[in-house]
Structure formats: C-alpha cells, structure tokens
Chains A and B, each alone.
Chain A
Amino acid sequence: MTARFRATPYLFLLPAVALIAVFVVYPILAVVYYSFTDYDIITPPVWVGLENFLKVFQDETFWLALTHSVIYLIATPILIVLSIALAIVVNRRLPGIHLYRALYFVPAVSGSIAIGLSWRWLFDRNGLINGVLQSLGVIHDPIQWLASPSLILPIAMLLTIWAGVGFYSVIFLAGLQNIPEELYDAARIDGCNDVQKHWHISLPGLRPQIVFVAVISSLAALKVFDEIYVLTARTGGILDSGVTMVFYLWRQAFQLHHAGYASAIAIVLLAITLVFSIVNVRLLERQEPER
C-alpha cells in the first residue's frame, strides 16, 4: 500500500468524526470551561476560578452522592456471577429454549422508566410485596420500602441487576458457544463433575467477555440515573438517600440551574471515570498477555 495522501479514508470518517466532535468533544471542552464559571444557562458565564471545585469538596450532598455511586459498583460482580450462571443454564439444547432466552431478555428491552414504574408498584406501601409478606404473616404492618433511606439504594441496585442479567447473559452465552465442545467432552471423560467443568473450562474461556461486561457494567453503575429518578419520583429519596453522582449533576444543572457548579461535578465524575477506566484497561492488558 502506498504512503501517498488519499482523501478517501478521511471522507469515510468525516460524518462520524464531525458528529462526535460537535456532540462529545466540544461539550467536554465546554464543561471544563463552565466548571470555572458561575453560570445559570440564561446569563453569560462569569469566571470564578476554582470556587466551584472548592465548593464541591465541601458539599456534603456531593460526598453522599459519590458514596452512593461507589456503593452501586457492588452490583457489577453480582451481575457478572448471575449472568454467567444464567448463560450456563440456557446454554443447552432443549425444545423451547429460545422462548426462555427471549423471556429473560424482557427486562433488557422494556426500558428503565417502564421497569422503574412496575417496581415502584411492587414496592409501594400498598404494593404486592407487602401484600404477600403480610398474608404470609412475615410482617404485620406494611413496610415503607421506597421511603426508607436504607432501602432505596439496595432496591435500585436490585432493579439494575434484575434488568441487566438477561442482557449480559446473552454476551456470556455467545462466549460459551465459542468454546469448543471437545473441551467439555474431555473434561467429562477425565471425571470432572459439572461444577469443575465450568470452573476449569467455561470461566477461563469466558475471560474476554468477563472483562468486557465488567467494564461496561461498572461504567453503567457509575452513571445510574433513570432507576433513581423513577423509584424516588424525581426527589432523590428521603434525605437524599438515593442521590447518585449523575442524579446530583442533573439536579444541580437542570433543576437548580447551577450549570457552572454542575460542570464542576461533571469534571469530578469524568476524573473518577477516567481513573476507573485506566485501572480496567490495565487489568484487561494483564489478562490477555498473548496480544
């Protein structure tokens, strides 16, 4: 291939690069600028230096939101384990298995708002969960699930896991189907039981998918918003018990019109995500030495 300049590759790239420049790159640069200003979206930004950042680090709600977002990362390993388990369960030839696979995917395509509303109804004070627990005699009075500061985050995480398992298990299923059948036959002949078989063959074989899902789902956990929005009916929960980083960003920017302050929060979120991604990439490189 020649080294002379050809316009063709750049023409192919042009639409995508132009769109990403306008809707991703420019906004990042603009957010950096806004983070140093006092800005309410309506009147022009006023330069205030580091004031927003100093305020962010003294803001108790910000620390609460950060803590909640970090806690939310617990969902990732649970998601991975359950998704692999589900993939192993559905990775067999049985009549009707495709129907079951489709059913497990239902939460993944239904949309977070619809899901959130249906969960809100399940966990309502008058909802089904209380109804069942009461009729079984487990509890006497209904529990205020969504109005309990200690419960809102676990319920949101449960929702995220429930909605995610079907989706991520499809990725693991694709990975399992790439593992040669002979390996399992050999393991069986060697006297491996089912658990050993998956431990020694499925898990190492799924390494690329595990890394992929770990990265994707932990980034998703850091930016949780929809679940909190619906479950707390836009409030963030009693005493901000459900406020996450992105929820707090949204509230500051679009409820309170503190665009400058919200931009500073956005920069901190970006920094955390970057550090997190670098760690992830390092792990990924270490796990794939053959590349």
Chain B
Amino acid sequence: MSAIGVAEPVAAEPSALVDARSAKRRRRRRQRLGNVGWYAILTFLASITVFPFLWMLLTSLKGPLDPIASVPPQLIPGHPTLDNYGRVLASLPIVQFFVNSITVSIFVTALNVLVSALAAYPLAKMRFRGRDLIFYLLLATLIVPAQLTYIPSFILAVNVFHYYDSLPAVIVPGLASAFNIFLMRQAFRGVPNDLIDAARVDGAGEWRVWWQILLPIVRPSMAAVAIFTFVTSWNDFLWPSLMLHSRDGMTLPVGLAALQGFFSSDFRSIAAGVTMTVVPILIFFIFVQRYFVRGLAGAVKG
C-alpha cells in the first residue's frame, strides 16, 4: 500500500540493542507520566463531543423555577423534574415515532445488506459479459447527489407506487445502495479464489457458494456495512420529511423537526425530545461499536 520499504529498519536494529534495557526503563517511566497527559487530552476532547448533548440532558431536567438563560448559566438543575418529558410525550407520539424508525431501519438494513451482498458476489468473483460496465455504472451513481432524484421519486411515490405518506415510501427507495455493493465487493475480493473453486469442484452451486462460504467469511465487513446502514437510515431526514406527514406516521428525525415547530422556544421540552431520540441510538451504538470499527478496518482499504 505504501511506498516505504521494510529493509531500512532491519539494517538499523543492531545499533539499538546496545543500551536497549536502560532505554526501556526510562521510556516506561516517561510513559506513565505521559499517560496522565494523554488522559487529560482525551477527556478534554470527549467533553467537546459530548457536551452539547449533556447540556440538552441537563436542560431537559430543569424545572419551571430553574433559569434556562441566566448569567452566569445554571449548569445543574436546582429543581430536577421529568415534567418536560411528560409534556413532550403528551403532545407528540414519540413512542410511535420510535416504532416507525425501528421498522424502517430494520427493513432497510436487512434487505439492503442482502441485496448488496447478492450483487457484490458476481462483481467480485465471476467473469461475465458486461461486468465492468455494470460495476462502473454503479460506481457512477455514487457521485449523484441523492437529493437530485427526489423530485421524480416524489412523483413516483404519489402517482405510481401510491405509498406517499406511508413507511414503504422511505423503505423501498433505500433497499439498494451502490456504496454498500462497493464495500461488499471489496470484502468478497479478499476471499481466496481457491476456496471458492474447491467448493465448485465439490459440486456446490453458485448460490450455495455465496450462502455457505462467502457470507460467513465476510461477516465482519457485513456487520460494519449493516451498522452503517442502520445508523444512516435511522438518521435520514430529507426524504422521509418529504414523504411522511401524518401525525402517527413520522420517523424520529421528522418528528423531532416537527417538535421544533411545536414547542418553538420551549427549550426544556425540545431538550427532552432530543434526549429521548439520541439515547436509544447511542445505547445501540455502544453495544455494536467494536464490530463496526473492526469491520470498517477491513472494508475501507482503498
């Protein structure tokens, strides 16, 4: 991948062996001191990424007697309350938004990964007429901003598919993604050909090769693609906001934008709404993050 050779370090090694031991001890002491510094830096950075949400959480817990805009600002609520959550839940069907978002994200993730993995197999491991053409056309669609397709897709949704203002309107157009096909193809290309050929010689058909050999091997990459698709679909806003308008039919981001209109400057309630939508996806991500990072390492190798 890089142009750097490995010969150089080998040649340089012997001279370093001489005072390796004392250097090691010195390094370890320096390291322990250095660790404190690193933790300080890491904690400072974490406070930058987390603070806006922490501030939302703190604001959402403030009671009517707590000032939300004072100088100096009040950080910790003096009269903590869950009333703001109650108010949001009473005025907007957040639970229904949540169910809608889960439904959309699960369908999109499961089917999209399946469709992408299907398409990626011949593109990675078979030779047939038109393969390169199809692959480059798929890649070219990656460049096209999705928003550009929304006008015709809107008209299709209303006139042809008749799913305007229902969940299929946000599920169906999300079922194929050139990006995921590309990532899955990368993963399949890493599988040795010998393995596939051996299975073919043993009489396995292409479908069995795909299902029983390829898919289990690329599971880490597939997990990363699935997590990425789930989070993207969960947070998708513009297209769902064009499609979903009825009160009970919105996904969380669409409902959250509606919340902004509904409570305009009642920041305690907006904060409660934001907190309710952010916490579930955060918990989900904390559970799956190691699969994501591990799989991503394999998927994006340039």
**CB-defined contacts of B50 to chain A, threshold 8 Å:** 103, 106
**CB-defined contacts of A180 to chain B, threshold 8 Å:** 6
Check: A92 CB closer than 8 A to any chain B CB.
yes
Q: Which of A4-12, A55-63, A148-156 is the interface stretch?
A: A4-12
**CB-defined contacts of A266 to chain B, threshold 8 Å:** 147-148, 151
Instruction: Give residues of chain B (96-150) contacting chain A, Cβ–Cβ below 8 Å.
Output: 115-116, 118-119, 121-123, 126-129, 131, 134, 138, 141, 143-150
| Most chain B CB within a 10 A radius of its CB, from A13, A230, A250, A273 | A13
Check: B46 CB closer than 8 A to any chain A CB.
yes
Complex Cα spacing A27 to B239, Å? 14
Instruction: Give residues of chain B (265-288) contacting chain A, Cβ–Cβ below 8 Å.
Output: 267, 270-271, 273-274, 277-278, 281-282, 285-286
Check: A28 CB closer than 8 A to any chain B CB.
yes
| Most chain A CB within a 10 A radius of its CB, from B138, B235, B242 | B235
Complex Cα spacing A226 to B3, Å? 40
Q: Which of A102, A132, A190, A253 contacts B150 (CB 8 A)?
A: A253
**CB-defined contacts of B149 to chain A, threshold 8 Å:** 23-24, 27-28, 31
Check: B194 CB closer than 8 A to any chain A CB.
no
Q: When the two chains form their complex, are residues A41 and B155 in contact, meaning their CB atoms are under 8 A apart?
A: yes
Check: A26 CB closer than 8 A to any chain B CB.
yes
Complex Cα spacing A174 to B1, Å? 14
Instruction: Give residues of chain B (228-269) contacting chain A, Cβ–Cβ below 8 Å.
Output: 231, 234-235, 237-238, 242, 252-253, 256-257, 260, 267
Check: B290 CB closer than 8 A to any chain A CB.
yes
Least CB distance, B191 to chain A, in whole angstroms: 15
Q: When the two chains form their complex, are residues B49 and A13 in contact, meaning their CB atoms are under 8 A apart?
A: no
Check: A223 CB closer than 8 A to any chain B CB.
yes
Instruction: Give residues of chain A (81-112) contacting chain B, Cβ–Cβ below 8 Å.
Output: 86, 89-90, 92, 94, 97-98, 100-112
Instruction: Give residues of chain B (17-66) contacting chain A, Cβ–Cβ below 8 Å.
Output: 35, 38-39, 41-43, 45-46, 48-50, 52-53, 55-56, 59
Q: When the two chains form their complex, are residues B13 and A126 in contact, meaning their CB atoms are under 8 A apart?
A: no
Check: B175 CB closer than 8 A to any chain A CB.
yes
Q: Which of A20, A110, A119 contacts B282 (CB 8 A)?
A: A110
Q: When the two chains form their complex, are residues A114 and B73 in contact, meaning their CB atoms are under 8 A apart?
A: no
Q: When the two chains form their complex, are residues B151 and A15 in contact, meaning their CB atoms are under 8 A apart?
A: no
Q: When the two chains form their complex, are residues A12 and B122 in contact, meaning their CB atoms are under 8 A apart?
A: yes
Q: Which residue of B lies closest to A259 (CB)?
A: B151
Q: When the two chains form their complex, are residues B175 and A112 in contact, meaning their CB atoms are under 8 A apart?
A: no
Contact A106 to B119, CB < 8 A, known contacts A24-B149, A41-B154, A111-B253: no
**CB-defined contacts of A65 to chain B, threshold 8 Å:** none
Check: B92 CB closer than 8 A to any chain A CB.
no
Check: B153 CB closer than 8 A to any chain A CB.
yes
**CB-defined contacts of A98 to chain B, threshold 8 Å:** 289-290
CB-defined interface of B168-196 with A at 8 Å, one 1/0 digit per residue? 00001101101001000000000000000
**CB-defined contacts of A196 to chain B, threshold 8 Å:** none
Q: When the two chains form their complex, are residues B206 and A189 in contact, meaning their CB atoms are under 8 A apart?
A: no
Q: Which residue of A lies closest to B129 (CB)?
A: A5
Interface of B is mostly: helix
Instruction: Give residues of chain A (35-50) contacting chain B, Cβ–Cβ below 8 Å.
Output: 41
In this complex, the interface size class of chain A, counting residues with CB under 8 Å from chain B, is: 35 or more
Q: Which of A104, A106, A112, A190 contacts B53 (CB 8 A)?
A: A106
Contact A12 to B302, CB < 8 A, known contacts A134-B71, A189-B15: no
Check: B82 CB closer than 8 A to any chain A CB.
no
Check: B296 CB closer than 8 A to any chain A CB.
yes
Q: When the two chains form their complex, are residues B115 and A126 in contact, meaning their CB atoms are under 8 A apart?
A: no
Q: Which of A70-78, A200-208, A235-243 is the interface stretch?
A: A200-208
Complex Cα spacing A233 to B263, Å? 12
Q: Which residue of A lies closest to B293 (CB)?
A: A170
Q: When the two chains form their complex, are residues A178 and B297 in contact, meaning their CB atoms are under 8 A apart?
A: yes
| Most chain A CB within a 10 A radius of its CB, from B16, B121, B237, B252 | B237
Least CB distance, A275 to chain B, in whole angstroms: 10
Complex Cα spacing A177 to B298, Å? 11
Check: B9 CB closer than 8 A to any chain A CB.
yes
Q: When the two chains form their complex, are residues A182 and B6 in contact, meaning their CB atoms are under 8 A apart?
A: yes
Please give the residue numbers on chain B whose beta carbons come within 8 Å of chain A beta carbons, in ascending order.
1-4, 6, 8-9, 12-13, 15-16, 35, 38-39, 41-43, 45-46, 48-50, 52-53, 55-56, 59, 68-73, 115-116, 118-119, 121-123, 126-129, 131, 134, 138, 141, 143-156, 172-173, 175-176, 178, 181, 206, 210, 231, 234-235, 237-238, 242, 252-253, 256-257, 260, 267, 270-271, 273-274, 277-278, 281-282, 285-286, 289-290, 292-293, 296-297, 300-302
Report the 4 A-B pairs with minimum CB-CB distance, sorted nearest first: A208-B302, A186-B9, A126-B69, A111-B235
Pick 30 A–B contacts, CB within 8 A, sort by A.
A8-B206, A12-B119, A12-B206, A15-B119, A15-B175, A16-B138, A19-B173, A20-B141, A30-B152, A30-B155, A31-B148, A89-B45, A106-B53, A111-B252, A111-B253, A118-B56, A121-B55, A135-B73, A170-B293, A171-B296, A179-B2, A186-B13, A189-B12, A189-B15, A208-B302, A226-B237, A250-B238, A259-B151, A270-B144, A270-B145
Contacts A9-B128, A118-B271 known; 11 new A-B pairs at CB < 8 A: A12-B119, A13-B122, A31-B152, A110-B282, A112-B237, A117-B273, A173-B293, A189-B9, A189-B12, A204-B4, A205-B1
